[in-house]
Each structure stands twice: as C-alpha cells, then as structure tokens.
Amino acid sequence: MHGALLVSALFVCGQAAQAAPGRCAADRIDERVKVRHVHDGDTVMLTDGRKVRLIGINAPELARERAPAEAFSSAAQVALRTLLAKGGYRATLRHGAERHDRYTRLLAHLFTGDGRNVQAELLQRGLAAPIVFPPNLWQHACYRQAAREARAAQRGIWSLQRYRGLEPRAVRAAGEGFYAVRGRIRSVTRTRRSVWLDMGYEFALRIAKDDLLQFRSTTPESLRHRTVVALGWVSLRHRPRMRLRHPAQLEILP
C-alpha cells in the first residue's frame, strides 16, 4: 500500500513537472524533430536536412569569410547545443505564421524535450537579442521581456556598447550590422514608399509603407522629438539607415 502511494505521488509530480514548461510556453506543438547540427546561436539543422531559423531572436555572428566572430557568438552556439544535448537533441517546433524565409529556412519556435522555450532561454542569458518580423509575432512580448531583464543585469551582449546604444554620429564608423542606435527623432517625413525618422548625422529610421499597419498604436508622428533606442540591422547603402518592421524594435525613453 505504501509503495503504491509512493508510485502515485511520483506520477503526480511527473505530471506537474510536464505541466510547467517555463517561460514563453508553447500554445501548440506542430512537429517533433531531432537536431543533427547546431549551426550557430539561432540556426539548427535537422536530421532530415532542413535548416531551422529560430523566430524572434538574433544571436551574434560566428566568423565567416573575412568577417571576424562577434562577441558571445561561440557562447550562444554552445548554450544552444547544451540545451538540446540534455534531451538527446530531440526537440519540438511551433511553426511561424510565415513558414520560410528568403533563404528557404524553416521559421519556427524551438522547444527542448522537456518543453523549455529555447529562444527565451538564450534571451534571458543575454546570448541573443529580440527581433520582430511580422507576421511572426507570437510571444514577441514575452521574448522582449526576457531580453529586458538580461539587459538590466548587463548579461552577455548587453555588456557591449553596440547593444546599449550607439549615437547616430558613430553609426558610419561602426559599419553595417545588427546593433542599437540611441538618439532623438528630429523630424518625420513621409514619402510615397516610406516614412523616415531622421536622427541627425545622416542617419534615419525607415518604416516601409507595407509595415505601417504595425504602427497604428505608435504612429511615426508621435515619435517626433522623442529620444529612442532602435534595435535592428543597420545598412550604409545610400545613407545610414535601419528599417523598422514593428514598434517592438523601439524603446521610447522618458
């Protein structure tokens, strides 16, 4: 009798553990997979040959061609590999509303065998930054909060100035890449294809016409004269710029 009660208690505890998957939990599971190779901190290859790009995060780049490795890139890759190794590289996927990117990689949220959200784990360790690409918006607020906590503690990438926010005048010297720019919106100009938020020193934030639907609650004009931190990819073509796909890329400072 006593043994039966013990087995029953263990069964209930096991159910409780499975019912508490942790931060940014899945609302559904679309596919069970096995990972063959961890390419870097935000991309894995499955045993069937498909590449999966993790939705909602951007990890520092490993060394490639003539570009040196970015700080914390190896740490992000090792952390992702370690998370998956604990479950024998068996994982589950929650597909995005948009299933593939322009490189034909599968876009998905990745979960460990015990149900932990891999993106959330990397974000709260400061080994990736949050990104938002509509229409893949599921859990973006949860991911942003995980990153906010890591930034407050200056963990990982958030110990670097490029993530805390470069001034617009430093953008050209910093070059193209993913980082944060901090400054005041001096003017807002609408053209046929875009809205431009000028931050001075020839640097601007660009909202494409197709993305304006995402800015219904935070209109571009409401940002005039506000100080913001914008997080995303900086391009130096024509003029230094960063494309904003969603208001979550912006932190509006007091």
pLDDT of residue 15 exceeding 80: no
Separation of alpha carbons 178 and 188, rounded Å: 23
What's the CA dihedral at 7, 10, 12, 16 to 10 degrees?
-170
Separation of alpha carbons 30 and 200, rounded Å: 46
- The residue range of the domain holding 75 is 22-157
Question: Which whole-number Å values give the CA distances from 50 to 43, 111, 136, 210, in the listed order?
Answer: 11, 16, 19, 29
Query: Is 8:72 a contact under the CB 8 Å cutoff?
Result: no
Instruction: Indicate if 46 and 165 belong to the same structural domain.
Output: no
Instruction: Indicate if 143 and 194 belong to the same structural domain.
Output: no
pLDDT of residue 56: 98
Instruction: Indicate if 153 and 224 belong to the same structural domain.
Output: no
Instruction: Indicate if 118 and 194 belong to the same structural domain.
Output: no
Inside any domain, residue 57: yes
- Threshold 0.85, pTM exceeds: yes
Instruction: Indicate if 39 and 121 belong to the same structural domain.
Output: yes
Query: Is 40:53 a contact under the CB 8 Å cutoff?
Result: no
β-bridge partners, 90 = 34
Instruction: Indicate if 165 and 152 belong to the same structural domain.
Output: no
Inside any domain, residue 3: no
Last residue of a domain, one of 157, 191, 206: 157
Last residue of a domain, one of 124, 157, 190: 157
**82 membership: H or E segment, kind and range:** helix 73-85
Instruction: Indicate if 149 and 216 belong to the same structural domain.
Output: no
Query: Is 250:184 a contact under the CB 8 Å cutoff?
Result: no
% of the chain at pLDDT higher than 90: 88
Instruction: Indicate if 107 and 218 belong to the same structural domain.
Output: no
* Average pLDDT score over residue span 215-239: 95
pLDDT of residue 67: 87
Separation of alpha carbons 74 and 62, rounded Å: 7
Last residue of a domain, one of 157, 173, 207: 157
pLDDT of residue 94: 98
Instruction: Indicate if 165 and 184 belong to the same structural domain.
Output: yes
196-235 in b/e form (b: 16+ CB < 10 A) is: bbbbeeebbbbbeeebeebbeeeebeebeeeebbbbbebe
Inside any domain, residue 218: yes
| Domains held by the chain: number | 2
Inside any domain, residue 13: no
Q: Which pair of tokens denotes residue 113? A: 């065998």
Inside any domain, residue 68: yes
Query: What is the domain-level CATH number for residue 137?
Result: 2.40.50.90
For CA atoms 196, 200, 203, 205, the dihedral sign is negative
Instruction: Indicate if 135 and 182 belong to the same structural domain.
Output: no
**122 membership: H or E segment, kind and range:** helix 118-124
pLDDT digits (tens, 9 = 90+) for 171-210: 999 999 999 999 999 999 999 999 999 999 999 999 999 9
Instruction: Indicate if 116 and 152 belong to the same structural domain.
Output: yes
Instruction: Indicate if 173 and 71 belong to the same structural domain.
Output: no
